[in-house]
Structure 1
Amino acid sequence: MRTQNPNVSLIQVEGVQTTKDAQFYLGKRVAYVYRAQREINGSKIRVIWGRIARTHGTNGVVKARFRKNLPPKVFGASVRVGLLYIYLFFSFSFLFFFFSFLQFLQKKNKKNSNKMSTVYTVFLTIGLLISGVCIPLILTFQDNQTIRNEQDDSFYKFSQPLLQTAMIFLGEIICIAVIHLVTKTPSLLDRSMLEAVQPHTTNSYNDYNDWVRPHTATWSWSAAWFILPSACDLIATTLLNLGLIYTTPSVYQMMKSSIVGFSAILSCLFLSRKFIRKEWVSIFAILLGTTTIFWSVIYKDKANYLGPIFLLVAQLFVAAQFILEEYLMDRFSLDPVRAMGIEGVFGIILLGGALVITALFGQNEFDISRGFQDLFNSYILWQSALVLAFMVAVFNFFGLAVSSSIGVPGRSMIDSLRTILTWVIAIHYGWDTFSWLELIGFSVLVFGVFIFNGVFTCVKTSIIGESTPLLS
């Protein structure tokens, strides 16, 4: 570390290589963490707070000014961009949600003695949580990989949203294959988990809506209508990956939570679903929280509006996908697992066509041919791609297996925990920053989702059949 004045230091932020990238950290607080030795009370960890004042040079170095003079000789000194109290805040928030979830789970298992055991459910929940956190972080990790262009000796980042969509689709295909395997071989899984991943194997359907009940489903050309939700899924996933390039993992995860509000509005418009007053209040809270999060991104960087816009448009396609799925499954009497398989087939066809078209005509920064070369030439990229596909498969399978035990309220709490963990880990690696405005928007969004999905026991619906929560 180079020091000009006792309270001014030059800092090289991890992952920042240009002045333009360094400008993002202007005004951010930093902590100078060091170990003081040879004191009367022994070694202690010391922290001196400061703030990044300006950029320095063209190599991404920033200049930070601290409140106190930095010690001239320290042992193990380092500068970490971030706020220590943010980690404490997120830790307490995570513990609060986690213990609340465990308490909720115990109460639910007392009422449903035939469900999976608490230990088994907690195991699936932890797997669901870990895999759900890893997915956006792996995508962000890939987006931040710098690749050298051998032609002009320049550098560029791996920006391939369609290739990332292919990785995600691969994970979904693996999940579908595993589901069909375990349903053909029931001895591979516990009975309760088998019933969870394939609900139509059980004889009781009191816990499901009418459209989930199994019917005699044979293939007909009418099932080709499922190409519509498959197309929505492909477009939405690609837009989500594209939006993540221009925004942060926390905003990506929070915008995905807003799907509850958009799906509720579309179901009211196209499926004639009715909601009570409290549910409309929750929908308004969801939209208000989403708007606040969107504004927090624009407030931090006015030129960074593309990311949230892509994410919002993606949620509209996801909502359209869910509405189409519900309508088509009821219209053509298909159970969810079979419908998922049909959508998977159409998804492969559409994805293959999209890859071919972009390979022929997409000669820009998202050049798919160059993306394939970069993917297979970099062991970091292809290994992370395999991990991403595996995590998607685990997330979908565990989510399907645990949903029947914890229900929609439990999934809502897990999603909140997932967002908190994603945010704090992204901050730790320098991929995200803390924003009070974003935190307020997230709190309002979570409050609305919790009310709509029945997490708060004070909110009880009175419309039978029409008040079932839409999404987890």
Structure 2
Amino acid sequence: MSSVSAGAVAFNLFITVLMVVTGSINTLAGKFTDHTIVNNKHFKHPFFQAAIMFFGQLLCLFVYLIMKKLEQRRQQNRESENSGADTPMSEILDIPKKTPPQINNWVFLPLSCCDATSSAISYVALILTNASSYQMLRGSVIIFTGLVSTAFLGMKLKGYQWLGMFLVTLGLVVIGLTDYIYGDKVNDDINGIITGDLLIIISQLIVSFHVSAQQKFLKQYDVPPLKAVGMEGMFGLMVVSFAMIPMYFIHVSPTFSNNPEGRLEDVITAFKEIAVSTRLQITITITVFSMAFFNFAGLTVTKRLSATSRMVLDSIRTLVIWMISIPLFGQRFIPWQIFGFIFLVMGMFTYNDVYFGPKFRKEVLPKMKESSLKRIVAKFICGMEDGEIEEDHEALVDSGDNDPL
């Protein structure tokens, strides 16, 4: 393996770990914020919190602009140092350099609207249904992302990738079902539960379009992830901020809000509660910076790997959050959920073709008797081409180890 490829693998590993860690921190910080009691009531300002998260993304734009300015200065210094050198032939002949097409920054507006819409729908759904159903159905985003990427981006997912997506979804279903069966039932409104479940599916469908569109724009226009995150943060903050103005005058039932006079969102009250609570100040600060790192890592994964890879890795956060939430928030330990997390990890390994796939292709597949079954397994499950299948079979015959299974 060359040093370049080794460095790329190391960076991919770093960015995936960064995504899982910062994503977990962000979710846990959000839980701490929701559990904070100010003036004898919980801090319940989801739309304000969405604005805070978009502000965290906006910070990436400032970092991008600073880095771009520094790079321009370094480029100017290099040009001044090489001013006496021969002028490149491409400049003499006025041959334009081959650069990717420039993206219109307004493209990020619909992406931000998708993000804001899915977040709002998820919030409403979480109020109507229980947490177990929310977590279980949230896994559907992996399937939706795979389907959308295949239909609109022309991606061809291999058999083991579909298998990995299935295992991840199965793990989330096991976790959700065990929580529903053995957990405490706090919502007996069956109509509300059904409506909430449908809203979760709709929100995850929107998320799948969001991340797939991100992948298309990032790869087609070669947009720096820092800029993409920052632009989405800027537009998202604008959208949510304007939306919170009419929300102040909308009055809802206590189920949806505990603000004065039942306002759907009350930014003034939110700032007052933050001002008197050190815990809120800390958790919101953590939310801002973890959101910035999480989205930067997520978009980098989308650009370097794929949108579905991002969704699979994002689902692994469930394991980290579950392990920490049990001692931290007093969440009930349900042993059966361990099986769900096993499916979750196996799905991640299978989708990313780590350990199971290479081991099967190296040790099991070559020993299988030449048949249509072997070709089906090799082509549709392992993602191998006909030429690769023949090469593996010939190599096995030449080695003398041709005992079929």
TM-score bucket (shorter structure): 0.5 to 0.7
Q: Quote the offset at 1:226 in angstroms.
A: 4.0
2:287 to 388, 393, 409: 388
Aligned pair 1:285/2:207, yes or no? no
- Report the alpha carbon displacement of residue 315 of structure 1 after superposing the two structures with TM: 2.3
Pair 173,225 (structure 1): closer, same or farther in 2 beyond 3 Å: closer
Unaligned runs of 5+ in 2: 75-97, 188-192, 258-262, 359-381, 386-405
Structural RMSD (CA): 4.3
SS at match of 2:286: helix
Q: Is contact 2:58-2:231 (8 Å) kept?
A: no
For the pair 1:461 / 2:383, whether they are aligned, the reply is yes
Alignment of 1:67-466 (within 5 A): 112-115=5-8, 128-148=19-39, 155-186=40-71, 215-217=100-102, 219=104, 224=106, 226-240=108-122, 259-299=141-181, 300-304=183-187, 311-327=200-216, 333=221, 335=223, 337=225, 339-365=228-254, 366=257, 367=263, 368-369=265-266, 370-397=269-296, 418-456=317-355, 458=357, 460-462=382-384
CA contact 2:111–2:210 (8 Å) conserved in 1 = yes
Supply the AA of the counterpart residue of 1:159: K
What does the per-residue CA deviation read over 1:59-115, in whole Å, with 9 as the maximum and x for residues that have no partner? xxxxxxxxxxxxxxxxxxxxxxxxxxxxxxxxxxxxxxxxxxxxxxxxx88672454
Paired position in structure 2 for 1:30: none
Deviation at 1:383, TM superposition (A): 2.9
Change (3 A) 1:297 1:357: farther
Deviation at 1:354?
A: 1.6
Higher relative contact order, structure no. (Cα contacts within 8 Å, ≥ 6 residues apart):
2
Closer/same/farther in 2, CA of residues 352 and 257 from structure 1, 3 Å limit: same
Verify the 8 A CA contact 2:313 2:348 in the aligned structure 1: no
Q: CA deviation at 1:339?
A: 4.6
CA distance in 2: counterparts of 1:341 and 1:301, whole angstroms: 40
1:163–1:371 CA contact under 8 A, matched in 2? yes
Partner of 2:90: none
Letter in 1 for 2:110: L
Instruction: Measure, in 2, the Cα distance between the counterparts of 1:109 and 1:434.
Output: 46
**Aligned CA distance change for structure 1 residues 438 and 313 (closer, same or farther; 3 Å):** farther
Out of 264-273 and 411-420, give the one that drifted further: 411-420
Partners of 1:280 and 1:406 in 2: how far apart?
16
Task: Give me the whole-angstrom Cα distance separating, in 1, the residues matched to 2:5 and 2:350.
Answer: 22
Name the CA distance, whole Å, in 2 between partners of 1:115 and 1:415: 21
Cα drift, residue 169 of structure 1: 0.8
Aligned residues: 320
Tell me how far 1:125 sits from its aligned partner: 6.9
CA contact (8 A) 2:51 2:236 kept: no
Shift in Å, 1:448: 2.6
| Residues 22, 291 of structure 2: 8 Å contact kept | yes
Kept after mapping to 2: 8 A contact 1:408/1:453: no
SS of the residue corresponding to residue 357 of structure 2 reads coil
Q: CA deviation at 1:147?
A: 3.0
Asked whether the equivalents of residues 409 and 450 of structure 1 are also in contact (C-alpha less than 8 Å), the reply is no
Greater share of helix residues, 1 or 2? 2
Paired letter, 1:267: S
Kindly tell me: are residues 423 and 294 of structure 1, through their superposed partners in 2, closer, same or farther at Cα, counting changes over 3 Å? closer
Please tell me whether the aligned partners of residues 261 and 286 of structure 1 are also in contact (alpha carbons under 8 angstroms): no
Answer yes or no: is the 8 Å Cα contact 1:175–1:396 preserved in 2: no
Aligned residue identity for 1:335: V
Deviates more, 1:130-139 or 1:257-266: 257-266
Cα distance in 2 between the residues matched to 1:255 and 1:446? 18
1:349 to 1:410, Cα distance in 2 relative to 1, 3 A: closer
Deviates more, 1:236-245 or 1:319-328: 236-245
Q: CA separation in 1, counterparts of 2:154 and 2:223? A: 22
Deviations 1:18-74 (A, max 9, x none): xxxxxxxxxxxxxxxxxxxxxxxxxxxxxxxxxxxxxxxxxxxxxxxxxxxxxxxxx
Task: Give unmatched runs, 5+ long, in structure 1.
Answer: 1-107, 149-154, 190-212, 464-472
Contact 2:168 2:312 in 1 (8 A): no
Instruction: Write the distance in 2 (CA, Å) between the matches of 1:124 and 1:329.
Output: 16
Paired amino acid for 1:361 = I
Structure number with the higher strand fraction is 1
1:391 Cα offset (Å): 1.7
In 2 relative to 1, CA 308–413 (structure 1 residues): closer, same or farther, beyond 3 Å? same
1:407 deviates by 9.2
- SS, match of residue 114 in structure 2: helix
What is the distance in 1 between the residues matched to 2:344 and 2:334? Answer: 15
Separation (CA, whole Å) in 1 of partners of 2:208 and 2:286: 27
Provide the rounded CA distance (Å) in 1 between the counterparts of 2:53 and 2:312. Answer: 24
- Normalized against structure 1, the TM-score is what? 0.55
- Paired residue secondary structure (2:329): coil
Q: Structure 2 vs 1, CA of residues 239 and 456 (structure 1 numbering), >3 Å: closer, same or farther? A: farther
- Contact kept, 8 Å, 1:214 with 1:335, in 2: the verdict is no
Q: Counterpart amino acid of 1:424?
A: M
Given that residues 319 and 341 in structure 2 are in contact (C-alpha distance below 8 angstroms), is that contact kept between their aligned partners in structure 1?
Answer: no
Is the contact made by 1:176 and 1:341 (CA closer than 8 Å) also made in structure 2?
yes
Q: 1:234, CA displacement in angstroms?
A: 0.8
Aligned to 1:74: none
